[in-house]
């Protein structure tokens, strides 16, 4: 998988891309990441990539000519066989979820564009394919969102995690019916008055599966009833 990141702060990604399974994916060649610095695409002595908004208002807006030039440069440098999918990281985008992560994991090449300031000039959207948001809150920039998209997407690629089955039975997965995952336990069997359920230690796999289904349903009903409503509407 090839990913280009358009950002004003490429240095934020350097430790992230060297760490944990993302770093291992880069080392193994499963993942290739290109950092496209927005600043060289800026204008004037200060290489400005933002300007005051038409119509007035507070803050600064990212210029379309600078952002699109960086997107074009990133796409050219990737040299992907097929045109990369361009994704803007913005609070106005569709909410990112596991279903979208799975879809993006099947895309050979991505260009992730990190917003800053008051966001993108509206015309930038005509040069992108998707807009993605982590949720109903606002970050200072899109870099953290881009890292979240990368981590949740790359972990779904074959040969990235040590045990690929670990991405099957987890929260929001089809194997869990789109619900929250069941509770997990490990040693010690008893800790400060809290014990591992007997059914998990008895070795009856059929009863364990039934117990986990029941627990996943109860947890989803208590914590995320919207998941059950969504499941019922499908």
Q: Are 135 and 226 found together in one domain?
A: no
**216 pLDDT higher than 80:** yes
Rounded distance between C-alpha atoms, residue 109 and residue 79, angstroms: 10
Alpha-carbon torsion angle 152, 158, 162, 165, nearest 10: 80
Q: Are 189 and 139 found together in one domain?
A: no
Contact 13, 147 (CB under 8 A): yes
Count Cβ neighbours within 10 Å for each residue of 35-69 and write b for 16 or more, e otherwise: bbbbeebbeeeeeebbeeeeeeeeebbbbbebbbb
CATH number for the domain including 22?
3.40.1280.10
pLDDT in the model for residue 231? 79
List helix spans (H) across the chain.
13-16, 20-28, 64-78, 98-105, 143-154, 198-201, 205-223, 225-233
Q: Are 94 and 191 found together in one domain?
A: no
**154 pLDDT higher than 90:** yes
pLDDT in the model for residue 177? 87
Q: Is the pTM of this model over 0.75?
A: yes
Note down the domain range covering 39.
2-154
Has residue 200 been placed in a domain?
A: yes
Q: What is the pLDDT of residues 88-103, one digit of tens each?
A: 999 999 999 999 999 9
**Closest by CA position to 197, among listed 178, 176, 218:** 218
Q: Are 32 and 146 found together in one domain?
A: yes
Angle (nearest 5°) at CA 165 between 164 and 166? 85
Q: Are 203 and 150 found together in one domain?
A: no
Number of separate domains in the chain: 2
Q: Does residue 36 sit in helix, strand or coil? A: strand
Has residue 159 been placed in a domain?
A: no
Of 154, 182, 209, at which residue does a domain stop? Answer: 154
Q: What is the pLDDT of residues 107-135, one digit of tens each?
A: 999 999 999 999 999 999 999 999 999 99
Q: Are 144 and 194 found together in one domain?
A: no
Q: Are 217 and 105 found together in one domain?
A: no
């Amino acid at each position: 998988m090839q990913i280009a990141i358009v950002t004003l702060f490429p240095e934020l990604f350097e430790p992230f891309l060297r760490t944990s399974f993302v770093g291992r994916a880069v080392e193994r060649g499963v993942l290739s990441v290109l950092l496209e610095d927005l600043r060289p695409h800026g204008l004037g002595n200060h290489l400005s990539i933002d300007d005051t908004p038409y119509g007035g208002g507070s803050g600064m807006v990212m210029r379309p000519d600078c952002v699109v030039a960086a997107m074009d440069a990133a796409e050219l440098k990737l040299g992907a066989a097929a045109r990369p999918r361009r994704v803007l990281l913005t609070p106005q985008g569709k909410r990112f979820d596991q279903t979208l992560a799975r879809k993006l994991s099947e895309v050979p090449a991505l260009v992730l564009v990190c917003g800053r300031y008051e966001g993108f000039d509206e015309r930038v959207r005509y040069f992108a394919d998707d807009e993605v948001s982590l949720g109903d809150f606002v970050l200072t920039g899109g870099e953290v969102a881009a890292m979240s998209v990368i981590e949740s997407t790359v972990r779904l690629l074959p040969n990235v995690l040590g045990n690929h089955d670990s991405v099957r039975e987890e929260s929001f997965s089809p194997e869990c019916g789109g619900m929250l995952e069941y509770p997990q336990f490990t040693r010690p069997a008893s800790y400060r008055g809290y014990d591992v359920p007997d059914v998990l230690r008895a070795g009856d796999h059929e009863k364990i599966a039934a117990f986990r289904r029941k627990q996943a349903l109860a947890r989803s009903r208590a914590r995320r009833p919207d998941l059950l409503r969504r499941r019922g509407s499908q």
